[in-house]
Structure 1
Amino acid sequence: MTIKDIAQLSGYAVGTVSRVLNDRPNVSDAARQRVLAVVEEHHFKRNSNAKHLKQQSSSGVAIIIKGSRNMLFADIVEHIQALLRDSGYPSTVYYLDEDHDEVEQARQVCRERRPQGILFLGSNLELFRAAFQPVRVPCVLVTNSAAGLGFANLSSVSTDDARAAREAVERLMALGHRKIGIIGGCMEASNTAYTRFLGVQQAFAEHGLAFDAERQYEISRFAMSSGYEAMGHLLDRMPELTAVFAMSDVQAVGAIRALHDRGLGVPEDISVVGFDGIELGGYLVPKLATVRQDAETMARRSVEILLRQVCEGEGAVHELIPYRFLPGESTRELREERA
């Protein structure tokens, strides 16, 4: 019998079972009693020597984050660390610049720290295709899909970025906007930016509209300051635009400030839609229209999948977490084309 079997018989998650067996807090009395009843009924005994050796020979879970200013990542990591702590797994966070190689960082961490597992936030799938093979520990991509990579130890939990980006642009089109600018990441370095770009292209194509990427797409880092600069470049190149879709909320925040500094109102002059659903967007004036990713669910499922791989040797799992569009106050119906 394994921990996974106990989880199935008790009706509780693997993480909950692990906390009970390790006598950890944050477990309800009902859950503790039910798990212990299953343990007693089936005469389950953990191999304490193996457990001791496992704890001595590893350094818990590594969390590799690509992009230090991503507020969505900060929210997800907060949930992840709490879940790991409750399950008895220490965690170490590694922050990388958006241009750095997260797979090389993982290989270095494996050589020096021997983690039990790795969680990646922000990733370039081409780097995984080229160099992930030597990484043998269970891993999960959080916010990006690894479904097409084919590694048995690499799972993923993500949102359907292409579909969500397409819907965001279509929301603007439904309001009458056609002259739409896009602020997004570098597609060569960010799979998220590439996938959302595909969604943008799909929206234009399905509505029979031409999309001139050289004119309508401005590359930006996922940061407020970069969103501010990108918005200025878009206005200089396309002064007639009536709406903007930013591929992250932090870029959208910077864009709104840039519009204000140019004497333009949101949404009176230009409508703005973001992506992520970070808390800050709900406190802006106007409240930001955005695609909300479920950070809490994404964190929980990522940890559950990783710990099942660590504890039970489960194979790769790839899940899509539903998103929601929040209408906010930063868009309006276009009644008259701006010159």
Structure 2
Amino acid sequence: MARMTIKDIARESGYSSGTVSRVLNESGPVSEQAVRRIREVVDKYHFQLNTNAKFLKQQTPEGIALIIRGTNNLLFASLVEILQNQIEEAGYSASMHYIDESGNEVEEAQEICKHQPPEGIFFLGSTRQNFQKGFSGIDVPCVLVTNSAEDLGFDNVGSVTTNDTQAAQFAVQTLLSLGHRNIAVLGGDRTRSQAGMSRFLGAQYAFFDNSVPFDPARSYQQGMFSVEDGYEGMLSLLDRMPELTAVFVMADVMAIGALRAIRDRGLRVPEDISLLSFDGISLAQYTVPRIATMCQDQEELARESVRMLLDMIENKVPGSFRETSFRMQEGESLMPPVLEK
């Protein structure tokens, strides 16, 4: 019989080569179930590890791919750093793949899997339509981070997300509770961004619950989640709604551009226009004024995402759907309207 290899052990045990390598080298965390099964196969075939364990480990790289949609998203930049640290602490390597905000993350995953399939994939930023159209050919475990995979119908896809709809509804309700009625919404492309659509729906619910009219054609401006589109979008809203006293912005990075646009029009935040944003990136606390924002718990998002993906990889469980907490972070960009315009 030919000499057994790690790939042979992986095939018979049902676990990945990376997991087998960690068990044999005792080099990283692995579930008791995986250790027990791999040891059974090793004992069955009297497999002996190559004495050059370091070389062996180098020959069986275990990689997790991160596909990041959008190159200007500061929330994703922070999440990627946290995810990478946690992935490496778990004994895996991480590779980053950035695509444009209008790009197709599923097509990117197909290209990655075509050459050397990773152990698993994280998607940061995703569109349901892309998964519904082209995901069926991808069979590695995947987790959507910040967007929901519920109802997609794939056992190998899970998600960890903030409830964008509830958080956005809370944000607009906050502006309404302060007494604002002329409120604009600055956000993402609802046809391309799941977060944009979910947050738009939350804003709509708040207006409806309070019997406040909301005309998207006039009061909603969409764009990319970027400083530049936040700036240009805010200028467009000011042109269409000179009477506005408050704006809900769907991403802190857009809010930074919106702040500049309001200032360039000779107006002040919050004295003339209150501003409430979304995400909770650290930079929002260094603007003038500090931006009030709906905070996503980045540490919790990353921790739960890594825990889920490793469970899918090592224990062969199907993906699940988890929600993490959100909270409103007080800033200096909110106050009741001095006088409705």
Which TM bucket (shorter chain)?
0.7 to 0.9
TM-score by length of 2: 0.85
Secondary structure of the structure 1 residue equivalent to 2:186? strand
- Provide, for residues 101-158 of structure 1, a one-character-per-residue CA deviation record: whole Å limited to 9, x for no partner: 1001111111112111000000001110111111100000000011111210000000
Of the three residues 241, 246, 250, the one matched with 1:247 is 250
Partner of 2:140: 137
- Provide, for residues 236-289 of structure 1, a one-character-per-residue CA deviation record: whole Å limited to 9, x for no partner: 111110001100000011000110111100001000011000000111121110
- Residue 220 of structure 1 pairs with residue 242 of structure 2: no
Partner of 1:68: 71
Give the conservation status (yes or no) of the 8 Å contact 1:19–1:87: no
Separation of aligned partners in 1, 2:142 and 2:129: 16
- Residue 317 of structure 1 pairs with residue 320 of structure 2: yes
Identity of aligned residues (%): 45
Secondary structure of the structure 1 residue equivalent to 2:294? strand
Partner of 1:84: 87
Separation of aligned partners in 2, 1:233 and 1:278: 25
- Residue 297 of structure 1 pairs with residue 300 of structure 2: yes
- Residue 181 of structure 1 pairs with residue 174 of structure 2: no
Name which one, 1 or 2, has greater alpha-carbon Rg: 2
- Residue 127 of structure 1 pairs with residue 121 of structure 2: no
Q: What is the total number of aligned residue pairs between the two structures?
A: 312
Partner of 1:45: 39
Structure 1 residue 327, shift from structure 2 partner: 2.1
Distance 1:178 1:96, change over 3 A: same
Separation of aligned partners in 2, 1:200 and 1:225: 23
Distance 1:118 1:44, change over 3 A: closer
Distance 1:39 1:198, change over 3 A: closer
Of the three residues 153, 157, 163, the one matched with 2:160 is 157
Give the conservation status (yes or no) of the 8 Å contact 1:120–1:140: yes
Partner of 1:278: 281
Secondary structure of the structure 2 residue equivalent to 1:45? helix
Distance 1:235 1:59, change over 3 A: same
Give the conservation status (yes or no) of the 8 Å contact 2:277–2:292: yes
- Residue 96 of structure 1 pairs with residue 99 of structure 2: yes
Structure 1 residue 177, shift from structure 2 partner: 0.5
Q: Pairwise CA RMSD of aligned residues?
A: 2.8
Of the three residues 190, 193, 201, the one matched with 2:193 is 190
- Provide, for residues 183-226 of structure 1, a one-character-per-residue CA deviation record: whole Å limited to 9, x for no partner: 11111110110010000110010001111000000011101111
Structure 1 residue 335, shift from structure 2 partner: 3.6
Secondary structure of the structure 2 residue equivalent to 1:234? helix
Give the conservation status (yes or no) of the 8 Å contact 1:64–1:96: yes
Separation of aligned partners in 2, 1:328 and 1:104: 40
